Structure 1
Amino acid sequence: MYAIITVTGADHTGIIAAVTTALAHNDVNILDVSQTLMDKWFTMILRVEFDEAAQDIATLQKKMDEVGTREALVIRIQSEALFTAVNEI
């Protein structure tokens, strides 16, 4: 399954490491990534791929919520198909 992950929150050391390490531990492959800082706010968007038969998107979201809580971030995961449909004009 292809998915889009957004990560937002106040900038601090270790955000990228925490998020990407958790994704690697969950066998999620990062296909593309974009990140930016706006003043003190960090934003990252990742396009990822993972085996939905091994782990569904809701389970992955719960695991990433743990990272979000620990790092004071908001991490959202959407299927790429849903993300594309919602963002098309």
Structure 2
Amino acid sequence: MKAVITVIGNDKTGIIAEMSSVLAKNGVNILDLNQTILQGYFTMIMVVELEKMDIGFMELKDKLQISGKKIGMSVKIQHEDIFNSMHKI
């Protein structure tokens, strides 16, 4: 199973380190990552693999949001199938 994670907020040092740390500590593998700065806003989207995750999806969601709040970022996670359904034309 895969998921899509988005991270948005004011650019600052340590955003990728913070997010990747939460994922690594919980057995989540980052398959793809794209990040950019848009007019001072940091934006990142990741596709992650959840098969070896050692916690539940909702617990991971909570941990990512808590970690994001700590550094002033908005963090969202969706299962890949839901993300694809929402963005299908």
Runs of 4+ in 1 over 2 A off after TM superposition: 51-56
Shift of 1:52: 7.5
Residue pairs, 1:6-85, within 5 angstroms:
6-51=6-51, 54-85=54-85
Q: TM-score, normalised by structure 2?
A: 0.93
Listed as ranges, the gaps of 5+ residues in structure 2 are none
Does the 8 A contact of 2:26 with 2:53 survive in 1?
no
How big is the alpha-carbon RMSD for the aligned residues of Structure 1 and Structure 2?
A: 1.4
Q: TM-score, normalised by structure 1?
A: 0.93
What is the rounded CA distance, in whole Å, between the counterparts of 2:54 and 2:18 in structure 1? Answer: 22
Shift of 1:85: 0.6
Aligned pairs, how many? 89
